[in-house]
Each structure stands twice: as structure tokens, then as C-alpha cells.
Amino acid sequence: MSFTAVDVIRAKRDGGRLSDEQIDWVVDAYTRGAVAEEQMAALAMAIYLRGMDNAEIARWTGAMIDSGTHLSPATSRPTVDKHSTGGVGDKITLPLAPLVAACGAAVPQLSGRGLGHTGGTLDKLESIPGWRAALSVDEIAAQLDSVGAVVCAATEGLAPADKKLYALRDVTGTVESIPLIASSIMSKKIAEGASGLVLDVKAGSGAFMKTVSDARQLARTLVDIGTAHGVATTALITDMEVPLGRAVGNAVEVAEAVEVLQGRGPADVVELTVALAREMLTLAGISTDPAAVLASGEAYETWARMITAQGGDPSAPLPRPTHVHVVRAPATGVLASLDAYAVGVAAWRLGAGRARKEDPVQSAAGVLCLAKPGDAVTEGDPLLELHTDTPDAVPAALSALEGGYAVTSETPEARRIVLDTIKPS
């Protein structure tokens, strides 16, 4: 059966349901260049406005998976992966992957780079001297077999349709479409070949989904896609109103992750790491208690082997900033709020993030949250440390923080980290 791009666009524009054959054809034709960018832009907008049902989303995801290669590294361990929708201070992959590997699973974690106020796992790890993100399929397989965990860039040929469509959505105002978000995430994750997947869907000011209801809708869509493709999938909805942990940036987040692996670190980072590890191990059929393994130091040993296997030196000093600016408490009382988005934008402006994918990042840039909501503070106490190699960036970071924190006389309610769990229907 032959189709034209205009026919497919019109079908969705008018509120129709795309057939399996239409979806397969248009994704393949777009990947090959037979459907023009402006035509796919029109279709993406039609999908944004008209939506897709679950069967359409699952088929669209499958077509994007089939546009490239599948990564199915051979290992004797059960494979399980995790994906976060992104947040501020979200360094959870760093302690989580070696922890789950130390418990007996294999974790093929293909990660990305930061864009805007949300950080990227690869940017964080590249602050470690010698560490490299680009691995071949054979190197990934060997490291999974020997270490049990690998965190690296996606291999060439993995879901190329998504790579093209992701860039197009970014410049056509269609990023927020849940069908396109969900299929983008899941096409890459399913193509990795893991048998289980746990999703960390964040909700709050520092997250892509600002409300719990929107996060729940996205989580349900993601879980349904994974289930439709035979991947055991669970999602946790987690809080992102406040930065996760105390470190926001690149090297500072690596340092905080190492603290967690060594039995210390902020309570919220430890709590979420263990919660996600439990879900991953359940999907992998492993009954080991991750909290006990984390306390034993085994996860840190796995971390050191994982970093070394990718050329890094886990004992090397991390980059330090050339300039530190301290933000002090404006009054005596209790820190009532600390807005994740404001802190994320400040770290971005200090050099920890990028506005475009090709922009460089500063490994030493970021923000240290010396106080978190609920902490008592005295006027003049340090609240935040702004780290950068470009002092001229400090005024813009301070501007981003205006109104982003408040000191009052009342103690705020304690926040829960895990807000909900979404299981297969």
C-alpha cells in the first residue's frame, strides 16, 4: 500500500486515527529523507493538537525502534534499566547503576547530555579525568559481563528516527506532546534490549511535568508502551519542587554521588536511590536488599570498577571552580522554600548547562545548596555557593535566584520524595 505525507498529515489533522501501515510508512520515509522536514513538522503539530491513542503510540514507538539497530548484549545476569525524565540535582544514575549491579543485575544505562536547566548524566561523568562516554557495542557487552554496569552514550544507529524527530520537535513547538515524549523515551530504552525498565517521572517546578497529574499521565503512557513491547515496566512519580540533594552541576554532583556510595550523602538522594533500586531488582527477580549493599561498600567498589573500565580515574581530584560566590540568608528563621527551577537556571547560567546541544559545559560550575527547606538559618548564614570559572556569569545566576528561596518564621511541611507508583494496567 502506498501513502503520501500529505494524506497522513490530513488524517491526523482532522482527528483521525493513523493506521499501523501509515505509521510504519511515515516514520521509515522520514528517516530515509523521503518525507520532508516541513511535512514531519506539520504531522508533529497535528499529533500535538489531536493526540494519539495507546495503540497508535505503541506502534509509533515500534516504528522508531525498527528505524535502527537493537542493542541486546549477551550477559548471564538479568538486565534492567532506569530512565529519569530529568530534574535539578538528579544524579541518581551515578550511585544507582553500580548499586543494582552490585546486587546481581546488569544495568545497560545509555544516557544523554543536559539541555537548559536539567543536567545530563554524561556531562557529570565527563568531569572525571579520563572517563569516556563513547563505547562500541562490544565494549558495552564486555563491561556488562565483567562489571555489571555501564553508563555511556547511545550507540550510532540506535533509533535514528527519534534523533531526527527530537531535533525537529525542539524547533517547532511540539516538545510538550505526551505521545511524542513517551515514544521518544521508550524507543531508545526498548532498543537497548533490557528485559526490565523503571521510570523516574518527576513532577514539580524543576521538572518537565509541572504537576503530579501531568506526570501521572506521562508515566501511565510510558508504562503502557513498555508493556505493549514486552518489557516489564514500572514508574515512580517523584518530587522535583526542590533540588535533589545539595549539589547541582557536574563535578559537584559526582562528588555527592560518591558520598552516597560510601555510606554518606543527603538523605533524599539515598532514599530515592534505594527506592529505584528496589523496583529494578524486583523486575530482575532479585531479592537482595539494596540498602544493605549500599551500606556495605560493595556498590562503591562496583562504581570504581565501572569508572576505571571506561578510562576514568575514580581516585583523581575532581575539577574545582576558579570563582565561588556565596549567597547569604536575608533574615533569621527557617528556609521555607528553595525552588528547583530557579536553582537549575542559576547553575545553567554559571556554565553547568547548555542552551544548544553543541555548547560546551564547565565541569566545575554549579550550585551547592548549603541549606534545604526546613533548616533553621541565621541572617548572614551561607545559603548557596555559586561555582563558576566565569565570574561575569554570577549576576545572571543571582537574577535567576530572585524569588527562588524564602526565609520565614514557619517550618514547611516535610516533602515526600516518592509521590506515586505506576504499575502495568
Active site residues: 83, 162, 169, 184, 188
Alpha helices in 135-287 (DSSP H): 137-146, 160-170, 178-191, 212-228, 251-261, 267-284
CA distance 62 to 155: 18
Q: In sequence order, which residues have a C-beta less than 8 Å from that of residue 55 and are 6 or more positions away?
A: none
Element (H, E) at 392: none
Can you list the positions of beta strands (E) in 35-118?
80-84, 107-111
CA distance 276 to 234: 10
Q: In sequence order, which residues have a C-beta less than 8 Å from that of residue 292 and are 6 or more positions away?
A: none
Q: To 10 degrees, what angle do helices 298-309 and 251-261 make? A: 140
Burial class of residue 414, CB neighbours in 10 A (0-12, 13-18, 19+): exposed
What is the 3-class SS of 96-155, one letter each residue?
Answer: HHHHHHHCCCEEEEEECCCECCECCHHHHHCCCCCCCCCCCHHHHHHHHHHCCEEEEECC
* Closest residue by Cα to residue 203 from 181, 188, 218, 189: 218
CA distance 9 to 231: 30
Are the CB atoms for 53 and 92 separated by under 8 Å?
no
Are the CB atoms for 362 and 351 separated by under 8 Å?
yes
Q: Which three cell numbers stand for residue 129?
A: 579525568
CA distance 400 to 403: 8
> Given phi > 0 = left and psi -120 to 50 = alpha, else beta, which region is 419?
alpha
Q: Which three cell numbers stand for residue 162?
A: 527519534
Chain center to CA of 361: 17
